Amino acid sequence: MGDRVELMICLGSSCFARGNKATLKSIQKFLEDHDLKDKVNFHGGHCFGNCAEGPNIKINGRLYTHVNEFKVIDILTNELL
């Protein structure tokens, strides 16, 4: 992995109410467990404008919808490992 991966989680009220708090914890644990904190720029964004499809995350600009604390592990495994 050359450049750092850009990983954003939507922290808008709709996504957060639908479970992005648990997804946030899953992402943090995944990055720590796989020693990826220095390779991934992980941060929150206010709203991705796709509330009806939330919870949402973006990896290098690619939008993932209907993400939950379990689905995010599969996404991160495919994208980062």
Q: What percent of the chain has pLDDT over 70?
A: 98
What's the CA dihedral at 68, 69, 71, 73 to 10 degrees?
150
pLDDT at 57 over 90: yes
| Per-residue model confidence as pLDDT tens digits over 28-56 | 999 999 999 999 999 999 889 999 999 99
| Element spanning 76, H or E | helix 71-80
pLDDT exceeds 60 at position 1: no
Q: Is pLDDT of 2 > 70?
A: no
- Is the pLDDT higher at 65 or at 2? 65
